[in-house]
């Protein structure tokens, strides 16, 4: 399924791939929550143009690897986010599938995701979320594993704020636009009230 937000301009729209990994949701036993939560967050956070591709698949390593490969190599997504399948259970194979299609590992993302979740639950140390770069012939993408619960997805992406809106713990999305810059993707801007992007001064684009 493909959804679109805003319209394309001279600056290429960010291409986002979302993959929800769940045996029961993909079989129709219950309604998937991961994809709607991610779509809602991006609709709220993004100030730049973006296009989104979604997949709902079971906890099968081959299916996950195939979805990730297609989203990067064929759909040419710049950013691919998975949700689900990152725990210690036997069926949780998302990190293994992600690493299997990777060119480079980006361990800082996984470290920060667990730090955010540890603010709420001690079982965050059981999460095995990873982040990687996949490089194709003339294209590259950042692939991230996120938690499965909508509340955790939001907290992981935008971080934690106090009652006055002051950032206490940075979310991972603050670093994603600059990472996309470095691997040759489009320039991404967000609504700062949701998530303030960080770039070094030398990488900032002058506002017209």
Residue 205 inside a domain? The answer is: no
pLDDT tens for 115-144 read: 999 988 999 999 999 999 999 889 999 999
pLDDT tens for 30-57 read: 888 999 999 999 999 999 999 999 999 9
Question: At 170, which CATH number?
Answer: 3.40.980.10
Instruction: Indicate the pLDDT class of residue 208, thresholds 50, 70 and 90.
Output: low
Report the pLDDT value the prediction gives residue 170, as an integer from 0 to 100: 86
Residue 206 inside a domain? The answer is: no
Residue 64 inside a domain? The answer is: yes
Residue 193 inside a domain? The answer is: yes
Residue 21 inside a domain? The answer is: yes
Q: Name the residue range of residue 116's domain.
A: 2-198
Residue 186 inside a domain? The answer is: yes
3-state secondary structure the chain: CEEEECCCCCCCCEEEEEEEECHHHHCCCCCCCHHHHHHHHHHHHECCCEEEEEEEECCCHHHHHHHHHHHHHHCCCCEEEEECCCCCCCCCCHHHHHHHCCCEECHHHHHHHHHHHHCCCHHHHHCCCCEEEEECCCCEEEEEEECCCHHHHHHHHHEEECCCCCEEEECHHHHHHHHHHHCCCCCCCECCCCCCCCCCHHHCCCCC
Residue 208 inside a domain? The answer is: no
Instruction: Please tell me the number of Cα atoms within 13 Å of 167 on its side-chain side.
Output: 17
Which pTM was predicted? 0.91
Q: Pairing between strand 159-161 and 2-5?
A: unpaired
Residue 173 inside a domain? The answer is: yes
- Per the structure, the count of domains in the chain is 1
């Amino acid at each position: 399924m493909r959804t679109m937000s805003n319209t394309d301009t001279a600056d290429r729209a960010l291409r986002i791939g979302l993959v929800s990994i769940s045996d029961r949701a993909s079989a129709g036993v219950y309604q998937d929550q991961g994809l709607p939560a991610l779509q809602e967050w991006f609709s709220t956070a993004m100030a730049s143009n973006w296009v989104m591709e979604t997949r709902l698949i079971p906890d099968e390593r081959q299916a996950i690897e195939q979805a990730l490969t297609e989203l990067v190599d064929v759909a040419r997504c710049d950013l691919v986010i998975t949700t689900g399948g990152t725990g210690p259970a036997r069926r949780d194979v998302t990190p293994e599938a992600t690493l299997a299609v990777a060119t480079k590992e980006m361990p800082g993302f996984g470290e920060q995701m667990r730090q955010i979740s540890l603010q709420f639950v001690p079982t965050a140390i059981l999460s095995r979320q990873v982040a990687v770069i996949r490089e194709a012939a003339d294209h590259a993408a950042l692939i991230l594993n996120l938690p499965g619960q909508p509340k955790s997805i939001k907290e992981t992406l935008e971080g934690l704020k106090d009652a006055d809106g002051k950032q206490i713990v940075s979310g991972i999305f603050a670093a994603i636009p600059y990472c996309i810059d470095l691997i040759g993707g489009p320039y991404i801007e967000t609504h700062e009230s949701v998530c303030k992007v960080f770039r070094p001064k030398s990488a900032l684009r002058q506002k017209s």
